[in-house]
Chains A and B, each alone.
Chain A
């Protein structure tokens, strides 16, 4: 370590100076995320960022959710490209404005991509923007987009040790869906162990166990989402 001392070399002397920085690595991203958040706030649009590992059933949850919100909220969709799930065409066919974001091979969306996507949506006519992030549990956790809600979808077949293996993701969310609960009788999954890990990382987190297959628990989730969105979008 060279803390401001001199190294003497035969031909020259140079000094090393330590410059304090103390800056968050993703501060630039966070500043743009803040700007996105302000824009959403100003337009009275509620934003939700959906993250999940591949196979958690993100697409099914999204489709069921959009269906349940029909007539209750005007929705726009932002789709992270390598996610390869509900195509934007499908959303457009259902009458929803949708933007496909090409992440250029990146494993996550970032605030700049979000800003660009928001500029392509008719925010004045929307109540809710749903962002489908790229499917994995490590990368998107670090990158705030500026949404009101970060939602993680976990699922029973993935195993009950996910919070212990991906603590970063489970710390960065504000709501959790546990999908495919219809498989509980067939898969070894210790719900208490799972929720214990979640609770330590994210005390008091709102959790929705549900099944897209049987429809169990879906209403609780969608009703809650509508309530959250209304609380945010109704102008004072």
Chain B
């Protein structure tokens, strides 16, 4: 599990931006191609954020689905887990056009 180090990084970023204010919510944007497990991030958060101003912060995950664009016909689609073929023209000439996000978008502070 790499969620512990990911959670530590999130906490570092959050505390740096909170500037001594109490953090109520952390808004994360995670693309489908960046794999983390929500529940285990929240689990680690409850442990490592204890005794900080972010101890009670709720983690909010905004999930961005993986997106591909067909180079042949321009169709934009969400790929399945078994094929990346364009569902419109069945071309394999497609490229990843979304879903790489992995960032702390904003925080809500008191």
Interface residues in chain A, defined as those with a beta carbon under 8 Å from any beta carbon in chain B: 2, 14-29, 106-108, 110, 138-139, 141-143, 161, 164-165, 167-168, 171, 196-197, 199-201, 203
CB <8 Å contact, B106 and A142: no
Which of B5, B21, B81, B95 is the one whose CB lies under 8 Å from A203? B95
26 residue pairs of the A-B complex, CB under 8 angstroms, read A17-B21, A17-B110, A19-B17, A20-B105, A21-B107, A22-B106, A23-B103, A24-B103, A25-B102, A26-B9, A27-B13, A138-B2, A139-B1, A142-B2, A142-B35, A143-B2, A143-B5, A164-B80, A165-B81, A167-B96, A168-B33, A171-B33, A197-B84, A200-B94, A201-B84, A201-B96
**Neighbouring B residues of A21 by C-beta, 8 Å:** 13-14, 17, 103-107
**Neighbouring A residues of B13 by C-beta, 8 Å:** 21, 23, 25, 27-28
**Neighbouring A residues of B24 by C-beta, 8 Å:** 2, 16
CB <8 Å contact, A167 and B107: no
**Neighbouring B residues of A108 by C-beta, 8 Å:** 2, 5
A201 to B79, CA, bound (A): 11
- B82 on interface, CB distance cutoff 8 Å: yes
- B108 on interface, CB distance cutoff 8 Å: yes
**Neighbouring A residues of B54 by C-beta, 8 Å:** none
For chain B, which range describes its interface: under 10, 10 to 19, 20 to 34, or 35 or more residues? Answer: 35 or more
Taking chain B's interface residues, is the majority helix, strand, or loop, or is none over half, making it mixed?
A: mixed
- Nearest opposing residue in chain B for A197, CB measure: B84
CB <8 Å contact, A18 and B108: yes
Which of A17, A28, A141 is the one whose CB lies under 8 Å from B109? A17
Taking chain A's interface residues, is the majority helix, strand, or loop, or is none over half, making it mixed?
A: mixed
Q: How far is the CB of B6 from chain A (nearest CB, A)?
A: 6
**Neighbouring B residues of A106 by C-beta, 8 Å:** 2, 4-5
Q: How far is the CB of A206 from chain B (nearest CB, A)?
A: 18
- Nearest opposing residue in chain A for B110, CB measure: A14
A164 to B12, CA, bound (A): 33
A73 to B69, CA, bound (A): 42
CB <8 Å contact, B6 and A142: yes
A21 to B4, CA, bound (A): 21
CB <8 Å contact, B105 and A164: no
CB <8 Å contact, A164 and B83: yes
A133 to B103, CA, bound (A): 24
- Nearest opposing residue in chain A for B31, CB measure: A168
Q: Mark B7-42, 1 if CB is under 8 A from A, else 0.
A: 001101110011001001000100001110000000
- B98 on interface, CB distance cutoff 8 Å: no
